[in-house]
Structure 1
């Protein structure tokens, strides 16, 4: 070995030893707790179990409905809102208390109780925030839909005030920080739109500092109360023993040891959840006793470090990687799993799905031990989105253990990027930053979250990126374009190690553009793209039309596992990609390589699959050959005929052969013109007993089928659109799990059966005007059938109905 090589190796060893000393210092707890901002809790949904907060909750609720403090003191004019604040140290349960309060208020709103708030909004503020971002979150909450983007703050505020005008509002500002007069001006700015609300509006603020509450004018400030000994022990033991596989005879032994451990945790709810989670996964008396002897647990931060150290080594690595995301980032399970696999963090002896399965277990371990905390379940009427967040103190730990590997460039950053960083994320792109990044030739991950239209990534910069960052495994870009065409340079072939490519143009980009927002962006992938043989994930989310310059050769990407797009992948012979797990869209064409049989060998498909162009399938045998029934991990299936004039008898044969797996949960059928239901929908032996969501759209020949609802006992959502039904089946009342019902463009419907008491959401749109009015007329038979449903949207556009009526008859 040469002297120079030996010197380099010794230098690396010395670096590792020094980093080890740094970690030991952290474990010795001589370092002060970091004061970084916390990961967003952007939901009003409380944890499944809340301990010891009933009295605090009732106190806050009483203040929310007390009108005596609505006018702020020391103001030149009365405000329409008043401010209530909750303060306390990190991890003490402030957000949980606020969630608990909001859950109660949402229940009052659902029941339309006297004094309820018309609009409830939850916004995370944190240490670093922009008024623009806060206003956008408030507008998203007020309109119950996302995607708002305004380049002009005044325009955004005007739009927000239009939505809030005249409403009685409850706004939660979670994790507010206060530093100086500048931050006070910003805080005053973010609450100013509430002045257009009605009197009695309230702002509920959580903060670590009383100063932040004073800055917002909170006349009532509540310190978060400390849990008493018995309640804290109950919380800890629930975290440590709930669901644990422990013999009842030994449970008393564990309870006694647990009591001693709980006494060391200084009544920190976060520490109780983290330490309890580790103990629950290790029901071993010796392990519990060893934990009870650790003085480390006497400090909250020490308890968190102890919990982190007892994660499996690979799980620790996966958690540390999460520090690359901003503190407000909403982590999605499947996205994070794909990233871990692409980075090579998951070590298995198998192939394909085994890595994803193991990564899924790591994810669940982090959730079970509270390192990842469930965030909002953003529920719409017929869909929901689940994501997870990381508590601030845990994010601090992730940053500390990964600081030599991971780095974030946030807004306003002007520092130095550590030279040995392997994974980097950039909150806002600039040419100065990208030039620094291009010097990091060992980079494995590059994530750029947003690019504004005044600072676009130009083709030369892509050339430099592809030429110099040749070790990239993950490249995630949100990029804008001033035209409707975007293309990668041919030099992308130099990224030989690339496994994960995510590009958001289209809808994500059009939010930044002032015109042509309804048109899609054409994304052109060069012919050299097919040389990226290690590629595992292609994620093209947005309003994007994909063009593959070498479409016939795309099947060379034999390691491809996930194709994610809002449109079909327009290249032939997709059936050769046998490792494929995600294929959201597939279109059958009258061309070689686009036959339905291409799905035959894609046995690993999972999640959602939409099949378009079924009018090009002409026999049951063709449908059977696709072997949908054998794809056991498929949970959602959409079947689309695009031509209503095709032979109904032929369609009946085809749909019979498209039998999905028995575990299917969501099914949508569009423009099916047969009059017969396939046996796999109605047969009691082979039917879809696990179906949760069913949507029938423009299936004009299908009639109500009582036998269908006898089978679908677990159905939660049913959508009927553009169908000729004149009534719903009489046995719908037995669907005790049904929560959502949408009836739209059904011009023959005149009456309703008795509906299940479980229904929470009802939409009736553009049906017969008489029928629509009857559902809104008190004492009418149809009104009596729907009056118990808390959330109803019933409407009819007369002109549109006339057109539809003429079309249907």
Structure 2
């Protein structure tokens, strides 16, 4: 069985997963135990090996040849279809296994799981396998016509295979070089005297000259509300434009302001004038600074214009060298700088491209590697929106990073994503190869994420400290290599005829369209990721999503999850954060044996499934737990769960009748909980026995030593817990003691060396 890349094949992540499943005990057992032609399995293996040999050449040629690109996308779909078939086989054997191990088992299995050579399930697998082989035969027959070469025929070293040195931490982006003249011009404009009530400056230049993303839709109401929110530091929910503009005028009237409009993409002058009319109430000297990628859009603003030109040659070299060499004293051939100068000339003075190429070459020590990049055919691609240098940077990523980067095609432009959330999604798709010593999947994901940052594929958001973004050009690149396998409803709607290949589906939060089902959007039976933001009810047909790995229903109006959700045996991540109407979870959620991430932060859930502790790998994120409202899931059950969310509030603690239940919660070992709130009912009037019980309860709720923020509210005991004064919480920075009326003495706060807020 071939488990290694041939010639640095870039689809090795897909093929490796398929080969491993073909060799799994469940699959081998299935083919041995049925009359399905075992030759199918061998034919599949051989066909994959023959196609694998040309993958590296196809990945390189896809940027200049749309036929090759379409061939690659169809191949990826075929790989996913193969995985789906093998997943169904594995699941069927795992369901049968308990029956064979115990003759006394009384569980009832669906008929298609029973070992009958003529069963409908076996016939379905046989049919699906033949369909996949037909697809692969068709793809293999086109390889010669597309001029695809086998890895053995390619120049050694020109591909993306081989061991990749470990990259260093990301480059700090705080310093902006080579733009002194531009900065001086802007400062002069800001500080100059003018008789105009409102002065506007548009800075324009092609994407890549600055790290500026372009918003595809200029919606007057949304833009106006965003401006009002910025000035009021609150959220405006009105859908009436006149109300928003009246509030905005009242806020600005008589005040001088500076407003920066980033990412502007607008061709309609009336739309801009509709926004501008609400901004003319400011005092004399008010300024609006606009960035855009087109002179045409800048002229729409009727503003003073400043073109951001390409960097001069010597500045280009400085920026490139900063990323390529990084003062790390890595040994390199002396000819590398000379080759680097030639590569810099191909970057067309674009900072984004210079950073990307520098980051790529940082990990290559030999002049032959630099020459291969200089002579790559990808530089010559034409008639494409993809910047050649970025395509080249992508091509030279190791296979695992290519797969992880391409997943971001699911995100719309300007989307701010979080490190932990993206790593979760990678984990659900089995993108994280954990054959690296004792590293956990999370640690491997952190390494992959940092590698993509260091190569300039991700950048920290300027708006959110813990958020990250991709440049528009890189978003286009991810979408290009994935096609409609990753589909963004409300963004990619032009390709309706090809949506049946979709496996990862998201609904844009800014779309005006209401998502009302899957029939016209994608094949729900093959869906792997579902990230909607505009539905109010999840249909019972969700049970059809057999191959779903990630289901994110956060911020939606759903009131409950159907019990059929518990049949999604591949589901690994379920997110229900900020579902304000959600009150309960399915009682059999523990049947999702692959589930490792469950989040329901800021919901109204008062009933937690009682057997979640059976899922030993499950990590739970919730914001609060009401002891008084949950009889089936008592506080001691927390001892069985692992928490991934940093904050948790325990309420109605007076309802704990047995203090040993609090001890069983085992908060001392919940190291991810860095913020805790303990709250009793403010209307209680505890007697002496209740006060004594409260003392024992809070003593048993001792947090871990990693706690940073603690609140104790309406506590009825006469003394604070000993763990608050014995130096076991030395990391606490914030402490709230609210309405603890029976306590006569404060704890020894001098033992909290990092305490800042009391």
**TM-score computed with the length of structure 1 as normaliser:** 0.64
Name the structure with the higher strand share.
Answer: 1
- Other-structure match for 1:639: 678
Aligned equivalents of 1:264, 1:490: Cα separation in 2: 55
1:92 correspondence with 2:209: yes
Point out where structure 1 has 5 or more consecutive residues left out of the alignment.
25-45, 72-79, 96-123, 379-384, 424-443, 482-486, 510-520, 721-809
Whether 1:544 and 2:580 are equivalent positions in the alignment is yes
Change (3 A) 1:639 1:575: farther
Do the aligned residues in 1 keep the contact of 2:500 with 2:523 (CA within 8 Å)?
no
2:319 is equivalent to residue 276 of structure 1:
no
| Residues 550/260 of structure 1: CA separation in 2 closer, same or farther (3 Å cut) | closer
Matches within 5 A, 1:198-597: 198-219=283-304, 221-228=305-312, 231-242=315-326, 244=328, 246=329, 262=344, 265-280=347-362, 282=363, 284-285=365-366, 289-290=370-371, 293-294=374-375, 301-348=387-434, 354-378=440-464, 386-410=466-490, 413=493, 416-423=496-503, 444-445=504-505, 447=507, 449=509, 457=516, 461=517, 469-479=524-534, 488-504=538-554, 523-548=559-584, 551=587, 553-565=588-600, 566-567=602-603, 568=605, 570-571=607-608, 572-584=610-622, 585-589=624-628, 593-597=632-636
Q: Is the contact between residue 466 and residue 492 of structure 1 (CA under 8 Å) also seen in structure 2?
A: no
Q: Partners of 1:136 and 1:265 in 2: how far apart?
A: 39
Deviations 1:65-99 (A, max 9, x none): 2122x42xxxxxxxx2111122222211275xxxx
Which SS does the other structure have where 2:496 is aligned?
coil
Residue aligning to 1:31: none
**8 Å contact 1:342–1:474 — kept in the other structure?**
no
Residues 173, 204 of structure 1: 8 Å contact kept: yes
CA contact (8 A) 2:606 2:629 kept: no
Query: Does residue 9 in structure 1 map to residue 122 in structure 2?
Result: no
Q: Which of 145, 157, 178 is the equivalent residue of 1:52?
A: 178
Structure with higher RCO (Cα < 8 A, 6+ apart): 2
Structure 1 position 421, deviation (Å)? 2.4
- Give the C-alpha shift of residue 237 in structure 1: 3.4
Q: Distance in 1 between matches of 2:456 and 2:735?
A: 34
1:776-800 Cα shifts (integer Å, max 9, x gaps): xxxxxxxxxxxxxxxxxxxxxxxxx
Q: CA deviation at 1:203?
A: 0.8
| 8 A contact 2:417–2:469 mirrored in 1 | yes
Please give the secondary structure, in 1, of the residue aligned with 2:527: coil
SS in 2 for 1:13: helix
Residue 19 of structure 1 deviates from its aligned partner by 8.3
- Corresponding residue pairs, total: 597
2:116 equivalent in structure 1: none
Q: 2:699 aligns with which of 656, 659, 675?
A: 656
* Post-superposition offset of 1:640: 2.8
The match for 2:730 among 673, 683, 688 is 688
Aligned to 1:43: none
2:638 corresponds in structure 1 to 599
Equivalent residue for 1:166? 254
Secondary structure of the 1:150 match is coil
Provide the rounded CA distance (Å) in 1 between the counterparts of 2:596 and 2:653: 25
Confirm or deny that 1:64 pairs with 2:173.
Answer: no
Conserved? CA contact 2:507–2:515, under 8 Å: no
| Residues 256/683 of structure 1: CA separation in 2 closer, same or farther (3 Å cut) | farther
What 5-or-longer segments of structure 2 have no aligned partner? Answer: 1-38, 41-129, 152-171, 381-385
Q: Conserved in 2, the CA contact under 8 Å of 1:588 and 1:596? A: yes
**Residue 120 (structure 2) aligns with:** none
The 3 A distance-change label for structure 1 pair 90 and 671 is same
Partner of 2:270: 185
Aligned-pair distance for 1:17?
7.5
CA distance in 2, matches of 1:358, 1:20: 37
Output the CA distance in 2 between the equivalents of 1:708 and 1:144. 35
User: CA separation of 1:396/1:501 partners in 2, compared to 1, >3 Å: closer, same or farther?
Assistant: closer
- Judge which range, 196-205 or 567-576, deviates more: 567-576
- Provide the residue aligned with 2:665 in structure 1: 626
